[in-house]
Amino acid sequence: MKIFIYDTTLRDGSQSEHISFSVEDKLHVAGRLDEAGFHYIEGGWPGSNPKDLLFFQRARRQQWKRARIAAFGSTRHAKNKVQKDPNVQALLDAHTPTVTIFGKTWDLHVRKALGISLEENLQLISETVAYLKDSGKEVIYDAEHFFDGWKARPDYALKTLRAAEVAGADFVVLCDTNGGSLPDEIKAGVLVARQAVTCNLGIHTHNDSDTATANSIVAVESGCRMIQGTVNGLGERCGNANLCSVIPILELKLNRHCIGKEKVRELTTLSRYVAEVGNIYVPSNLPFVGTSAFAHKGGIHVSAVLKHTSTYEHLQPESVGNRRRVLISDMSGKSNVVYKAKELSWETKLAPEQLNAVIQELKQKEYEGFQYEGAEASFQLLVEDLVGKAPKFFTLEGWQVLIDKNRNGKLRSQASIKLKVGNEVEHVIAEGNGPVNALNRALKKSLSPFFPSIERIHLNDYKVRVIDTHRGTAAKVRVLIESTDGQSRWNTIGVSENVLEASWQALVDGIRFYLGQQQDRSSPRLRPAQDRK
């Protein structure tokens, strides 16, 4: 039996704190969801804001490969005739093949929120569904707060479902709107709903009890044919069911067809794309698609995984588009370092004495405050330096940072760097909106005449962590920098009692790593003699 995937990232997901999709963002995300094989894409609520209205206008002109675009709204207002209700009319004006409306299921909401009788609420549901069906729409009815309503007054909750079905709803979706239900409650509620109606059922869960994914799976096993959710579990409060977890469980563990196993391989890329567009980071510990989902740190774990991956992995990371990672830390054994050497494609295997030297240096560095599990680029440079394989792109002669504040309160940061590339000495000065920014700009300015490609490098993220807080302002700090050239990303680290020195270490590692990845590793572009200082 096919399970339909209904994505509400662009509506319910956009209600997440810190998320604000532009119209262009929504169109780009919708395109990726369509390519991923999702069956329904809920674009927004056209009656609530101009941005969603514009999205639907633009979406009408776009060719969709597989997905049906859905407009979202509510049943008519109690004071309006359905033909005159502006929100209902906005659903029709969106010109989508599918409309999704929600209505009240919990008698508490009917009496307290709407302030109408229970019978009047049934009329709102049936009249709105029937009107939209008569207008030629596929209608999905979301039974808001179904599980709370069913627990409070089961007879009335089931009446609301029947009202939607009799009026012609194509799907009736059972919503755990407050996110408080547990899997056994979801199962019981779905089984009761199956006895009450014969139309297709769906499930819409929230994650306030950290059970949204489990609840969605239980609902499918109990008879639901549609799952509503979001990419990365975005959504109001604690979020919605995470489709990046739901889909691989259905396809790879339960053999329930939804988007197909080939499309499941694209989930990690989709997860990170949506996060990028939303300008948020995917939690590293997200199941299936997080960067830590298949990461191994303990030496015993790594040794076992090298022998057979299923010893510490429940499925192959490639099946969801992810990859296996071996982390380097003071818990590492030889297996970790050997794995990283193979992963990083070093030209020669590490000799036993080199391997021991790497492990000892690693433990010493971690004692000093370095942590390499989040800075693999710096770890690669550490090993290459120890075994004499790291190219010498430049030599620092010295740097200086000045910060001054004028009487108007304006701050100015200026960095001066002197370094040597080959036999040439470069001395530059650059300003920035802060000392680290000035240092970074001066470093790139001094090197770009010799290595023009470093102009592509930009900092994606900059984090500072105080290590030994008991020392107050004399404490060591750890700086972690994520860099990108627009194609790939890499993380580097620095540690010092001086935040600028720690930043310098991470900045330099970022550039050294990038240059080391270029084909021409050892040939800086030397300038004509008349242009040299």
Other beta carbons within 10 Å of 117: 12
Backbone angles phi, psi at 333, to 5 degrees: -110, -170
**Range 416-426 average pLDDT:** 93
pLDDT at 523: 52
Sorted by where each starts, the structural domains of the chain and their CATH numbers stand as 4-277 (3.20.20.70), 295-366 (no CATH), 395-517 (3.30.160.270)
Residue 133 has pLDDT above 60, yes or no: yes
Backbone angles phi, psi at 434, to 5 degrees: -165, 170
Residue the block writes with tokens 């290459």: 384
Other beta carbons within 10 Å of 157: 26
Nearest to 145 by CA among 96, 97, 99, 112: 112
Which of 157-161, 170-174, 384-388, 396-400 has the least mean pLDDT?
Answer: 384-388
What is 329-388 written as a DSSP string?
Answer: STT--HHHHHHHHHHTT-SSPPPHHHHHHHHHHHHHHHHHT---TT-HHHHHHHHHHHTT
**CA pair distance 150, 186, nearest whole angstrom:** 11
Residue 360 has pLDDT above 80, yes or no: no
Residue 408 has pLDDT above 90, yes or no: no
The answer to whether the CB of 249 falls within 8 A of the CB of 257 is: no
Which one is predicted more confidently, 507 or 384?
Answer: 507
DSSP state of 455: G
3-state secondary structure of 100: strand
Nearest to 246 by CA among 22, 488, 7: 7
pLDDT, averaged across the chain:
89
Burial status of residue 20 (CB atoms within 10 A of its CB: 0-12, 13-18, 19 or more): exposed
Question: What pTM does this model have?
Answer: 0.72
From residue 64, how far is each of 33, 41, 276 by CA, in Å? 10, 10, 22
Q: Which two tokens stand for residue 249?
A: 């469980």
Residue 348 has pLDDT above 60, yes or no: no
Give residue-wise pLDDT tens across range 270-316. 998 898 788 777 788 999 999 889 888 776 787 787 778 889 889 99
pLDDT at 329: 58
Largest CA-CA distance found in the chain, in angstroms, rounded: 91
